[in-house]
Structure 1
Amino acid sequence: MSDIVVVYELDRPAAAHTSPPDADRPPRRVHAVPTAPGRPDAAGPRTLCGKDTFAMEPARWKPSEHSGAPWYPAEYAAVVCPECDAVMEV
């Protein structure tokens, strides 16, 4: 799973792409994104479900650091994108 970056779709995008969601800005949806070409730590331009990642916030959660865990942070399981999750299950 090292070729996947987790991003948060927020109701209100943050001014800067530096902080994760918090109690004031919980994610509306959690998506999986292929990494950008040549940048294993950066999200590519589209999620696995086809959404543009420009206004999405990168998660600090890295699937490659959590062997045996789902690709998303457990606390956001209720808002995981079902389309991204279906692709990740394959």
Structure 2
Amino acid sequence: MSEIVVYELDRPAATRSSTGSTSGAERRVRRVHAAPTAPGSRTATGPRTLCGRDTFAMETADWKPSERPGAPWYPTEHASVVCPDCDAVMET
């Protein structure tokens, strides 16, 4: 089975520009999950993460665990927000 890394993001927080108007929203990674690929696809995320969360509103990461032998399955800059349930499945 091939896994895809997905990000559960915080809701956008509007930012104010120097003119006082709201501009683009910044979304922070709340949790990093692993998800299987969709049946019949190598690039599409399946409907649920390995911990059972819905992937519909999650963002797919560019990080591909299979391309980095010996590295953790998640991007190291997000190590503090890795889903412990997904991590336990990935470690087995």
User: Which category describes the TM-score, using the shorter chain as reference length?
Assistant: 0.7 to 0.9
Report the alpha carbon displacement of residue 48 of structure 1 after superposing the two structures with TM. Answer: 0.4
Partner of 2:83: 81
Q: Deviations over 1:12-58 (max 9, x none)?
A: 27xxxxxxxxxx32210000000101111111000000000000000
Unaligned runs of 5+ in 1: 14-23
CA distance in 2, matches of 1:41, 1:72: 17
CA separation in 2, counterparts of 1:8 and 1:76? Answer: 10
**TM-score, normalised with respect to structure 2:** 0.82
- 2:71 pairs with one of 69, 78, 82: 69
Compute the TM-score of the two structures, normalised by the length of structure 1: 0.83
Q: RMSD of the TM alignment (CA)?
A: 1.2
Where do 1:1-90 residues align within 5 Å?
3-12=2-11, 24-90=26-92
The count of aligned residue pairs is 79
Displacement after TM superposition at 1:68 (Å) = 0.7
CA distance in 2, matches of 1:54, 1:12: 14
* Bigger CA radius of gyration: 2
